[in-house]
Amino acid sequence: MFIMNTLITHKKDGIGWIQFHRPAVRNAVNQEMMAELEHVITEWEQDETLQVVVLYGDEKAFVSGGDVEAFHQIHTKEEIYPVMKRMGDLLQRISELKCITIAAVEGIAVGGGCEIVTSCDFCLASKKAKLGMIQSRIAITTGWGGASRLMNKIGKPNALKMLITGEVIDVERAKEMQLVDEVIESSHFLEKVKVFAQQFVLPSPMIGRAYKEVALALEQGTPLSAFAKIEAINCADCWEAEEHVQAVERFLAKRNKVD
């Protein structure tokens, strides 16, 4: 386990865990948290043993957005733009991680917290969770790329309504809209998240990475005609791996077995 000032991280059995840890301010993101998250992501982008990354907070909050008090010290658009862009770039890197990413939400995920959710492949939420893009309530818009990702995830009408009204929705509504993928009982929340995450940990890490590459390429507008090549390359890459050779040998041995 690696304890920083604003994050707690650990890696085990192919799963990397990042806990947002500023409980006194409902895990609000300040510039120190941005720097620590950049540090972790820079290291984990290179780690081919990681098959899943889980982002989570605590019972009360996933993340309550940008640190309103700290950011309120910044007055001009020239000064605030690079701060917003820094976090937007970081969320883009999270969305482009080659492993599966999961936002595990207990409690509140609002403002930039909800933007972080949209940068992950899956969102698991406890029954008590609430989500909202509440930036409009303080008369700003999403600064971290969350509006476009929300539109991609839940479609234009629902996204525009959430963004402009700043409504906070419960998990049932979030699940209907496909902002949340699975609703999880609050008790032993992280153990249940772990069981979900373990589904994506395979003997061959190449599988998840290959499908994630396809998903990202599709999202980024790669024409369908390009995928015959991309998928053939990915499959060929897996072909020589020991896991594939052994799996086929096991299958053939069973078929040839004389009972």
- Chain contacts with ligand MC0 (rule: CB under 6 A): 25-26, 28, 60, 64-69, 84, 108, 110-112, 115, 134-135, 138, 142-144
Minimum gap (Å) between residue 105 Cβ and ligand MC0: 12
Nearer to ligand MC0, 68 or 238 (CB): 68
Other residues' Cβ atoms within 10 Å of the Cβ of residue 43:
14
State the amino acid at position 187 in one-letter form.
S
Contact yes or no for 114/146 (Cβ under 8 A): yes
Minimum gap (Å) between residue 47 Cβ and ligand MC0: 28
Minimum gap (Å) between residue 158 Cβ and ligand MC0: 18
Nearer to ligand MC0, 9 or 135 (CB): 135
What would the two tokens of residue 73 be?
A: 């010290």
Other residues' Cβ atoms within 10 Å of the Cβ of residue 20:
25
Nearer to ligand MC0, 22 or 209 (CB): 22
Q: How many whole angstroms separate alpha carbon 166 and alpha carbon 132?
A: 6
User: Dihedral (C-alpha) 61, 4, 212, 178: value to the nearest 10 degrees?
Assistant: 0
Nearest residue to 142 (alpha-carbon basis) of 158, 120, 164, 125:
164
Helix count (H) and strand count (E) of the chain? 11, 11
Nearest residue to 189 (alpha-carbon basis) of 171, 201, 203, 174:
171
Residues present in the chain in total: 259
Minimum gap (Å) between residue 126 Cβ and ligand MC0: 15
| Distances from the Cα of 79 to the Cα of 36, 67, 75, 83, 221, angstroms | 21, 15, 7, 7, 33
Q: How many whole angstroms separate alpha carbon 91 and alpha carbon 87?
A: 6
Nearer to ligand MC0, 25 or 183 (CB): 25
Nearer to ligand MC0, 91 or 197 (CB): 91
Minimum gap (Å) between residue 24 Cβ and ligand MC0: 6
Minimum gap (Å) between residue 31 Cβ and ligand MC0: 11
Nearer to ligand MC0, 74 or 230 (CB): 74
Minimum gap (Å) between residue 66 Cβ and ligand MC0: 3
Nearer to ligand MC0, 60 or 156 (CB): 60
